[in-house]
Amino acid sequence: MKKYIDQGKKDTRSGFGAGMTELGRTNPKVVSLCADLVGSLKIEQFIEENPERFFQVGIAEANMMGIAAGLTIGGFIPFTGTFANFSTGRVYDQIRQSIAYSGKNVKICASHAGLTLGEDGATHQILEDIGLMKMLPGMTVINGCDYNQTKAATLAIADHQGPVYLRFGRPKVPNFTDPDQVFEIGKAVKLTEGTDVTIIATGHLVWEALQAAESLESEGISAEVINIHTIKPLDEEAVLTSIQKTGCVVTAEEHNFLGGLGESIARTLTTHYPAPQEFVATQDTFGESGTAEQLMEKYGLDNKAVKKAVYEVLKRKA
């Protein structure tokens, strides 16, 4: 099995910030908006270099979404920034009408997604955002797995015409993908070859899936790990090709099992190739305060949870 090396822990939000800095230098149409969370979004450098292309809207997320929609009407590519909870649930109707239904080229960039925001607790965490965004017609939904991939995704979405939801997180996680990777929206990335089980993961859970796969290999179980950075549109072909080979799947995400990546995979399977599936995800619950590591363990989002799900799904495999 191919081994992936932790090149050092970095936060995915800093990958977003680095991507924005590069876009500031290379794409004069890119503008940035933020609702009082510049430091959290890591966009200081973009602002320093392009003050005229930055809009501080204050603590007023609904207005930020509308202003972003308006800026596209002058030909600009707005990147909005705030926490994932305030990027989605708080402004769902604004995104629905003024951005998605209106077909506006707005990039909704959301930091601090999922449980691993940590100590702030459930009011600031969100485990429903993937579902909310993927249900909007025309919305592309992306969740990078590490710093390098989030940076690459930030660059890629500027060239994509149409609304995009880009999800990333707060904690420092292993950075293991290629810094010069080509990011193809809608293309799954197969990380390891395997024959017994497919593990499909997104976001922070991709690294956990890789750790689980390495550990399973030592137990004689061959796992194929697929990184789904684009949840919508879903690369159904890659998913089905792998599951037709292995015969079962574990999906892993930092999101509620309702409405997330796992449900998208389940729909693909029921439509094309029914196969046993286990969900590593939160079980229809709100989060709570704690460190990122504590929360990952308590809510079953770490490599141990992935391994457990693999044992379960193998039992159900025909």
Partner 1 sequence: MSAPQDLEKIIIQVRRDIVRMVHKVNSGHPGGSLGCTEFFVALYFELMDLKSSFSMDGIGEDLFFLSNGHISPVYYSVLARKGFFPIEELNTFRLLNSRLQGHPTTHEGLPGVRIASGSLGQGMSVAVGAALAKKLNKDEHLIYSLHGDGELQEGQNWEAIMYAGSKKVDNLIATIDRNGQQIDGATEDVLSLGDVGAKFKAFDWDVIELKEGNDISAVIKTLKEAKSRTGKGKPVCVIMHTVMGNGVDFMMHTHAWHGKAPNDEQLQTALDQNPETLGDY
Q: How far apart are CA 233 and CA 238, in angstroms?
A: 12
Query: Is residue 76 near partner 1 by the rule CB under 8 A?
Result: yes
Query: Is residue 77 near partner 1 by the rule CB under 8 A?
Result: no
Query: Is residue 55 near partner 1 by the rule CB under 8 A?
Result: yes
What's the closest the beta carbon of residue 232 comes to partner 1, in angstroms?
A: 19
CB 172 within 8 A of CB 11: yes
In the complex with partner 1, the residue whose CB is nearer, 105 or 264, is: 105
* Residue 61 falls in the annotated catalytic set: yes
Query: Is residue 57 near partner 1 by the rule CB under 8 A?
Result: yes
Query: Is residue 248 near partner 1 by the rule CB under 8 A?
Result: no
Query: Is residue 66 near partner 1 by the rule CB under 8 A?
Result: yes
Determine the interface stretch with partner 1 among 6-14, 36-44, 97-105, 112-120 (rule: CB under 8 A): 97-105
In the complex with partner 1, the residue whose CB is nearer, 58 or 179, is: 58
Of residues 175, 156, 131, the one with CA closest to residue 79: 156
Query: Is residue 89 near partner 1 by the rule CB under 8 A?
Result: no
Q: Which of 44, 48, 52, 61 is catalytic?
A: 61
Determine the interface stretch with partner 1 among 69-77, 257-265, 270-278, 285-293 (rule: CB under 8 A): 69-77
Q: How far apart are CA 179 and CA 147, in angstroms?
A: 9
User: What secondary structure letter does DSSP report for 98?
Assistant: I
Query: Is residue 51 near partner 1 by the rule CB under 8 A?
Result: no
What's the closest the beta carbon of residue 120 comes to partner 1, in angstroms?
A: 23
In the complex with partner 1, the residue whose CB is nearer, 15 or 66, is: 66
281 dihedral zone (left: phi>0; alpha: psi -120 to 50; beta): beta
Determine the interface stretch with partner 1 among 6-14, 73-81, 189-197, 278-286 (rule: CB under 8 A): 73-81
What's the closest the beta carbon of residue 65 comes to partner 1, in angstroms?
A: 7
Of residues 119, 141, 123, 145, the one with CA closest to residue 132: 141
CB 89 within 8 A of CB 146: no
The 3-state DSSP class for residue 3 equals coil
Query: Is residue 247 near partner 1 by the rule CB under 8 A?
Result: no
Query: Is residue 308 near partner 1 by the rule CB under 8 A?
Result: no
Query: Is residue 1 near partner 1 by the rule CB under 8 A?
Result: no
Helical residues (DSSP H) of the chain, grouped into ranges = 12-26, 38-41, 44-49, 61-72, 84-87, 92-94, 129-134, 147-158, 205-218, 236-246, 261-272, 292-298, 303-316
In the complex with partner 1, the residue whose CB is nearer, 56 or 195, is: 56
Q: Which of residues 11-40 bind partner 1 (CB under 8 A)?
A: 31
What's the closest the beta carbon of residue 43 comes to partner 1, in angstroms?
A: 17
Of residues 231, 223, 76, 226, the one with CA closest to residue 167: 231
* ∠ CA 117-152-227, rounded to 5°: 70
Query: Is residue 158 near partner 1 by the rule CB under 8 A?
Result: no
Q: Give how far Cα 49 sits from Cα of 21, 45, 54, Å.
A: 8, 6, 10
Q: What are φ and ψ of residue 64, in 5° steps?
A: -60, -45
Residues that bind partner 1 (rule: CB under 8 A) add up to a total of: 32
Counting every residue written for the chain, the total comes to 318
In the complex with partner 1, the residue whose CB is nearer, 60 or 283, is: 60
CB 53 within 8 A of CB 79: no
Query: Is residue 73 near partner 1 by the rule CB under 8 A?
Result: yes
Known catalytic residues are: 61
Using CB under 8 A, list all residues that contact partner 1.
31, 52-53, 55, 57-58, 60, 62-76, 78, 93-94, 96-98, 101-104
